[in-house]
Amino acid sequence: MDFEYRGGAQAVKLSALSKRTEEALSAVGLDPKEIVQLVTRAIAEDLDGGEDVTSISTIAPNHRSSAEFRNRIDGVVAGIDVATAVLELVGLQRIDSFAKDGDFLKPETVILRVDGNTREILLSERTALNFLCHLSGIATDTHEWVEAVSGCTTLIRDTRKTTPGLRKLEKYAVRMGGGVNHRMSLRESALIKDNHIAAAGGVSEAFEKVRSAFPKLEIEVEVDTLEQLNEILPFSPDLVLLDNMSVADCRKAVEIVGGRFPLEASGGLSLDKARAYAETGVNYLAVGALTHSAKVLDIGLDLKAEI
């Protein structure tokens, strides 16, 4: 059933998602309703209460075209079903995909093909590409980190340094690049960081307070020094984050812990140092840059023919 988003002087009338797209989004942990809300706001932002003046001026109302989404450079694609959702919401129905999220694509690979009303294709173009390029950029950057530590047991994972409102999508893209997710929200688990430690009066005091308040919750503790690590050892945390430690100190930390709980290196990491940190034996490398600094993957849409 069609619905309307009212913003500004004019209503934006959108169609519904197909059952296939709803099921595809749900299957990977994305809520179709949330995707609809994101896309609706994006299209409403683009129209700003008006209409696409260029397309209305240059293209007949019933003009129909075929168009293809292609990547211009190598990369891992993510967000195909989100882009499909954009196309469907503006009213397009003949959409074919030729890749799947997580695929590494060579340049000029056809990702999606859409046939339909030309005005609708162009209305959806920028919003679909914004999602597809951004998520594919995250997946591609994650893939590079994963490749850098290939052969090691260390996993690459993200942080909460995400774009407001896009966390679930961005963390999904990390998974498509071969990474793993850290906590999705503040309620999911406890992460005792330096400011908590300072406010609580010490790392031991902070740990005891969290354990007392939430006895069944997973607790991760951030430590800046090996001395702090030794202090927290008797408490057997679920995980310890080694913040801004050198490769040498991370190696010592692995020896100190001796496998009693997982260790995560974070802060000051770069792609060229990833393997050195992984070879220390830490379980995770936490990389905020996967989401807060990822470059978009260059993907474009080209009209191929009038139909």
Q: C-alpha dihedral over 101, 102, 107, 110, to 10 degrees?
A: -20
Nearest Cα residue to 100 out of 86, 83, 115: 83
161 is catalytic: yes
Q: What residues are paired with 155 via a beta bridge?
A: 284
Taking 70 as the pLDDT cut, the residues of the chain under it are 1-12
Could you list the beta-strand ranges (E) of 1-137. 3-7, 10-14, 64-71, 75-76, 94-97, 104-105, 110-117
3-state secondary structure 119-146: HHHHHHHHHHHHHHHHHHHHHHHHHHHH
Nearest-angstrom CA–CA distance, 221 and 24: 36
147 is catalytic: no
Which listed residue (161, 167, 183, 252) is catalytic? 161
Nearest-angstrom CA–CA distance, 171 and 18: 24
Which listed residue (22, 141, 222, 264) is catalytic? 222
Nearest Cα residue to 79 out of 87, 162, 179: 87
Half-sphere exposure of 290 (CA within 13 A, CB side): 33
19 is catalytic: no
Q: C-alpha dihedral over 168, 302, 51, 86, to 10 degrees?
A: -30
| CA 251 to chain CA centroid, nearest Å | 30
Query: Hey, what domains does the chain have and what are their CATH numbers?
Result: 3-136+295-306 (3.90.1170.20), 147-292 (3.20.20.70)
Could you list the beta-strand ranges (E) of the chain. 3-7, 10-14, 64-71, 75-76, 94-97, 104-105, 110-117, 155-157, 190-192, 219-223, 239-243, 263-266, 284-286, 299-306
**pLDDT for position 11:** 55
**pLDDT for position 13:** 75
275 is catalytic: no
Whether pTM > 0.85 for this model: the answer is: yes
Tell me the pLDDT tens digit for each residue of 199-249.
Answer: 999 988 999 999 999 999 999 999 999 999 999 999 999 999 999 999 999
Which listed residue (113, 126, 183, 251) is catalytic? 126
Which listed residue (167, 193, 211, 273) is catalytic? 193
**pLDDT for position 182:** 97
183 is catalytic: no
Contacts of 15 (CB under 8 A, 6+ apart): 2, 88, 89, 90, 91
Nearest Cα residue to 192 out of 120, 183, 285: 183
